[in-house]
Amino acid sequence: MASQVRLFISGGPDQEPARELLGQALAEFPVNVGWVIKRTPDVDSVAESHLFLILLGADITAPVGLELYWAQRTEKPTCAYRMDVNRTPAGQVFVQDAQRAGLDWRRCHDLAALRRRVLADLSRFLLSNAERYGITMMEAQRLHAFIGALEKAAAGAPAGGPTGERPTPKPAGAGGGGVILAPGKDEPRGARLVGEPG
**In the chain, domain spans:** 4-180
Question: Does the global pTM surpass 0.75?
Answer: yes
Task: State pLDDT tens for residues 136-184.
Answer: 999 999 999 999 999 999 998 665 444 444 444 444 444 455 565 555 5
DSSP 15-54: GHHHHHHHHHHHHT-SS--EEEEE-SS-HHHHHH-SEEEE
Q: Which helix (H) or strand (E) holds 79?
A: strand 78-83
Specify whether domain 4-180 bears CATH 3.40.50.10140: yes
- Which residues 6+ apart lie within 8 Å of 80 measured at CB? 53, 54, 56, 98, 103, 104, 105, 106
Q: Which residue has the higher pLDDT, 130 or 167?
A: 130
User: What integer pLDDT is reported at residue 27 of this predicted model?
Assistant: 84
- Could you tell me which of 172, 154, 156 has the C-alpha nearest to residue 113? 154
Q: How many CA atoms lie within 13 A of 112 on its CB side?
A: 17
Q: How far apart are CA 179 and CA 34, in angstroms?
A: 7
Q: Is residue 92 exposed (0-12), middle (13-18) or buried (19+ Cβ within 10 Å)?
A: middle
Share of the chain above pLDDT 90, in %: 66
pLDDT bin (cut points 50, 70, 90) of residue 97 is very high
**Preceding peptide of 183 cis, ω within 30°:** no
